[in-house]
């Protein structure tokens, strides 16, 4: 089957680094909320220098899968995981695994921006302080600047770092949350619908930022926006009813999907 989709934008040659090694894997992953099973035998690889998009209808398990990679499901009563999730070869659900140490390796950005009720500087310094990543105020200041620059926000806020974070625009708040996640030097960045509440201009900036950041991180993004997945991801996984139907290079999945269910979803015939 071959599809002609206007939003399957080809990526310019040489526009990004080649995908790196696999840094995280899920194998035969099952997730339960009480008696309700929401993920079934999921296999997934996350690669360095790559944006992996998770797409599928609402309630298909995309966000649940994303949260298994930094154990955010642990905070949900009755949640249970079986199977295997490894980051750099270490089983993160093993009995001796430290969730706090794990979350330093795996940053998370949520659907709606959630800046802390601190100053702009205080938001970035929070993780630096609790993880004891700076020896003095000078080092903290350097890390704050580095993180804000990485999130493309430094030039916009450098003169008002003591202002409340909530005075920023919605798009700036979301980039601040990205900067906060980057401040603890993660290896993987998880993004759950990071632009769903933003206007088109702010959404474009988040997409550009993700493309820039994949030079240093592995990025996984959950999105309902198929155009966004086509624009910004290198590989895409299509989820349906808690299962991965297929994973493929994004251009391939959007033009020559291997499964009829995938074709039906991306062409709007689903359901």
pLDDT tier at 271, thresholds 50, 70, 90: low
List C-alpha distances in Å: 65 to 46, 62, 122, 168, 239: 12, 5, 31, 31, 10
The band of 8, judged by pLDDT with boundaries at 50, 70 and 90, is very low
Structure tokens at 175: 């980039």
Extract the tokens encoding 101: 């140490």
pTM of the full predicted structure?
A: 0.88
For the stretch 24-49, pLDDT in tens is: 999 999 999 999 999 999 999 999 99
Q: Mapped to the 3 state alphabet, what secondary structure does 35-64 carry?
A: CEEEEEEEEEEEECCCEEEEECCCCCCHHH
pLDDT band at 111 (very low <50, low <70, confident <90, very high): confident
Coil vs helix vs strand at 236: strand
- φ, ψ of residue 207 to 5 degrees: the values are -65, -45
Confidence of residue 1 (pLDDT cuts 50, 70, 90): low
Kindly list the structural domains of the chain, giving each domain's residue range(s) and its CATH number in brackets, ordered by start: 22-266 (3.40.50.300)
**Does residue 241 come out as left (phi exceeding 0), alpha (psi in the -120 to 50 range) or beta?**
left
3-state secondary structure of 250: helix
> Do 168 and 114 meet the contact criterion of CB atoms below 8 Å apart?
no
The residues near 89 (Cβ < 8 Å, ≥ 6 apart) are none
Per-residue DSSP letter, 167: G
pLDDT digits (tens, 9 = 90+) for 117-156: 999 999 999 999 988 898 999 999 999 999 999 999 999 9
Contact 24, 69 (CB under 8 A): yes
Mean pLDDT over 247-259 rounds to 96
């Amino acid at each position: 089957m071959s599809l002609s989709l206007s939003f399957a934008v080809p990526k310019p040659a040489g526009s990004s680094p080649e995908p790196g090694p696999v840094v995280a894997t899920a194998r035969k992953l099952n997730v339960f909320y009480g008696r309700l099973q929401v993920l079934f035998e999921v296999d997934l690889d996350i690669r360095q220098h790559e944006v992996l998009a998770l797409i599928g209808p609402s309630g298909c398990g995309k966000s649940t899968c994303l949260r298994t990679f930094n154990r955010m499901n642990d905070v949900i009563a009755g949640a249970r995981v079986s199977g295997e999730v490894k980051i750099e070869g270490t089983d993160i659900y093993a009995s001796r695994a430290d969730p706090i140490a794990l979350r330093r390796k795996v940053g998370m950005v949520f659907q709606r921006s959630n800046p802390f009720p601190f100053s702009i500087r205080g938001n970035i310094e929070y993780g630096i302080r609790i993880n004891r990543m700076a020896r003095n105020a000078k080092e903290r200041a350097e890390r704050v600047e580095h993180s804000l620059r990485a999130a493309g926000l430094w030039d916009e806020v450098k003169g008002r770092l003591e202002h409340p974070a909530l005075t920023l625009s919605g798009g700036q708040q979301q980039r601040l949350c990205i900067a906060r996640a980057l401040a603890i030097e993660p290896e993987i960045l998880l993004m759950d619908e990071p632009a769903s509440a933003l206007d088109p201009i702010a959404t474009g900036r988040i997409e550009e930022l993700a493309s820039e950041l994949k030079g240093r991180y592995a990025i996984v993004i959950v999105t309902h926006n198929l155009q966004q997945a086509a624009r910004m991801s290198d590989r895409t996984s299509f989820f349906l009813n808690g299962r991965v139907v297929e994973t493929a290079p994004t251009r391939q999945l959007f033009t020559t999907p291997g499964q009829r269910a995938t074709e039906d979803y991306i062409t709007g015939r689903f359901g």
